[in-house]
Amino acid sequence: MSKLALLALGINGIIGSGVFVLPGKLGQSLGIWAAVLFFVCGLMLTPIALVYAELSSRFDSNGGPYEFALKTLGKESAFPIGWLNWFTCIVSTSTVSSAFPIYLEYFFPNQFPMVVSQVLAGAMILLFAFINTFGIRYGSKTMTMITWIKIAPLVAIVIAAIPSFKEIPMSPLPKLNDLGGGILSILFLYTGFEIIPVVSGESSHSKKTVPWATVTSLFICVVFYVFIQSAVMAQPLAIGSEKPITMLAEGLWGGWGGKLIGLTGLISILGFISGSAITAPRMLMPIVEQGQLPRLLSDGKSEKKSLNAAIWPGAIVSAALCFFNTMTELLELATLAVAAQYLFSSLCLMKISLKEKKHVVLTVLSLLMSCVFLYWVPGVAWRGLFLALALGYCIRYFPRRGLVSV
């Protein structure tokens, strides 16, 4: 993948369908402090992004966090990290896809039962999985094109809304519970930069381009989120709405603006799915290659055929999850899984730092920030995470009889 495609992968991963839904709820519970919290959480995530950048400058194979752990903590410690990485990707895909009915309803009000919308969302996941069986070149071009198409209208809205920022009312300090919920939602909105190192093995000059894209994509999105949340706060009808960006666009441009953002929301969902279709199999394949998951996830005949076989398990699970969970439940579980991934990746750099006596402060900050994010995750999400890990180990130790790599 090129440098520009890597940047698009990061931005596409961070700016998913959540931006079209959550700013309204955040504005209602936190007021103008939501924009402040976006900036603060961006600062808190900076040392974590720098940890990923440092690790990806040392390792240039596919797998990202799994590869980091494999080379630093060992094979046994790497498995739960790699499994959680893949699990996070497929759950996040389902979380984003669960917003598909909201924007479909905007164009076809009361015309489709919920199950039809869920079928369509699942079908989109399977479609992009199929596109990626033709190779990363086609998948990355599709993803890059969709990313810039979905970003352009959002940037235009921010620019158009800037003159109204002076009308944003002040808000009282938020309650602690509202602050915790806000941190959780904002962390979910920021997740995505960590997927860039997953494709290091298929990227040009990866030890330079992957670290650059990881940090740059986060910084760009911090600026974007602060401005888009401020724009929502400047439009009273958008605050508390399930479609805040649509309401904002209608307030600025009339009915056609709302339809434009409704279409952009659908495109954004497709963009996120296309990015996940690229990264999910490249998270799974290294685990299979190390003999820690069944060979039935890979035919083992060639690298391309093995990768194609690895595309489908995640796609099928993501599509199935569209039918069984709400966006809130999936958001909490995905946020916990990615925060745990941040913690493990920080531990990888910590081991290197203690040996080389470099980046110790950065690693400590990253560990601390990871723990802060983990603190705010509800208990029910922890149960879901432990069940996911238990499932991973059950699959790993499934009776071998020729089904696993050795």
pLDDT in tens, the chain (406 residues): 788 889 999 998 898 777 888 898 888 888 889 999 999 999 999 999 999 999 999 888 888 888 989 989 888 889 988 888 888 788 778 777 777 766 777 677 766 677 777 788 788 888 888 877 777 676 778 788 888 888 999 999 999 999 988 888 888 887 877 787 788 888 888 988 988 998 888 888 888 999 999 999 999 999 999 999 999 998 888 888 878 888 888 888 888 888 888 888 888 888 878 888 888 888 888 888 888 887 655 544 545 555 556 677 778 888 887 776 555 666 777 788 888 889 989 999 999 988 888 888 999 999 999 998 888 887 778 888 888 889 889 888 875 544 444 3
Strand partners, 404: 294
Q: What is the Cβ-side half-sphere exposure of residue 293, based on CA atoms within 13 angstroms? A: 23
Q: From CA 258, how far away is CA 256, in angstroms rounded?
A: 5
| CB contact at 8 A, 278 and 199 | yes
* C-alpha distances out from residue 125 to 77, 83, 230, 278, 288, Å: 30, 20, 32, 11, 22
Class for domain 3-396, per CATH?
mainly alpha
- pLDDT at position 404: 42
Place of tokens 């190192």: 197
Q: From CA 402, how far away is CA 322, in angstroms rounded?
A: 33
- pLDDT at position 227: 95
- pLDDT at position 267: 84
Q: Name the pTM for this structure.
A: 0.86
- pLDDT at position 120: 80
Q: Kindly compute the dihedral angle of the four CA atoms of residues 288, 289, 295, 298, in this order, to the nearest 10 degrees.
A: 90
